[in-house]
Amino acid sequence: MNRTVKFIFYIIAVTGVWGCKQPKPQPEMRIPPTAAKDGINPYVAPDKSPMDMSYFPKDYPILRMNGTDEKSLVARVIYSRPQKKGRQIFGTSEKNLVQFGKEWRIGANEATEIEFFKNVKINGQPLPKGRYVMYGIPSPQNWMIAFNNNLFTWGLHMDSTQDVLRISEPVIEQKPPVEELTIFFEPSEIGADLFVIWDNVKVKIPISIEQ
């Protein structure tokens, strides 16, 4: 009996340590095993932080396909989706993937791009229709979010002299944590909310739309 109890503690200890040091691997975008015999794509390999696109009105291309698009196109975000993979994403340490107080592309790879097809107000401040780079400076309570004119860039070294608009939004706690960076629009009373969600953080950006 004593041996069994010891053994159980041993298992708890081992699984505990294993749980901390080697988080359960998350599914990641990769060539499936079947690809081995076909060979890896020799031209452009798929990205491990795959790109994605969000529209407002939500799922606009599908609405158009179904003939249920009552409103015209307002906005589109194009971003890459890194994954948490057991890491604490936001924090003060250099070990954190995104450090408080530093510029972050709100994505991976290329700078995140947002295009407005109508004039809008972001958090009450006017932003003319057009295409912008969107980046942020996260901190524990608030995020600064910038809309910037330096398009078609890789998401490092933002040129803040080309900022068109800067706003600040409070951080909302996201429970439970979200594995992949997720950016999407939801309709609101004044127009739309743009949500940025990753790990235990959620930020909501209110947008009103000029008709």
Partner 1 sequence: MKRLAIIWVLFTVFETSGFAQLTSPPLDKSPLDISYFPVNYPSLKTRDKISENPIARVIYSRPFKNDRVIFGNLIEYGKVWRMGANECTEIEFFQDVKINNSKIPKGRYSLYAIPDTANWTIILNQDTDLWGAFKYDQKKDVIRVTVPVEKADSPTENLAIFFQKSDQGCALNILWDNVSVSLPISL
Where do contacts with partner 1 occur on this chain (CB under 8 A)?
Answer: 4, 7-8, 11-12, 15, 19, 23-24, 29, 31-32, 34-35, 38-47, 50-53, 55, 60-62, 64-65, 73, 76, 78, 81, 83-84, 110-111, 152-154, 156-157, 176-180, 182, 184, 197
- Residue number, 46 or 126, with CB nearest to partner 1: 46
Maximal CA-CA distance, the chain: 75
- Residue number, 123 or 153, with CB nearest to partner 1: 153
User: Closest approach of Cβ 111 to partner 1, in Å?
Assistant: 7
User: Closest approach of Cβ 100 to partner 1, in Å?
Assistant: 22
Cα angle vertex 144, ends 53, 186, to 5°?
Answer: 40
CB-hemisphere CA count at 13 Å for 29? 14
Other beta carbons less than 10 A from residue 79's beta carbon: 26
User: Closest approach of Cβ 35 to partner 1, in Å?
Assistant: 4
Decide: helix, strand or coil at residue 152: coil
- Residue number, 79 or 143, with CB nearest to partner 1: 79
Other beta carbons less than 10 A from residue 207's beta carbon: 20
User: Closest approach of Cβ 149 to partner 1, in Å?
Assistant: 13
Q: Return phi, psi of residue 52, to 5°.
A: -150, 170
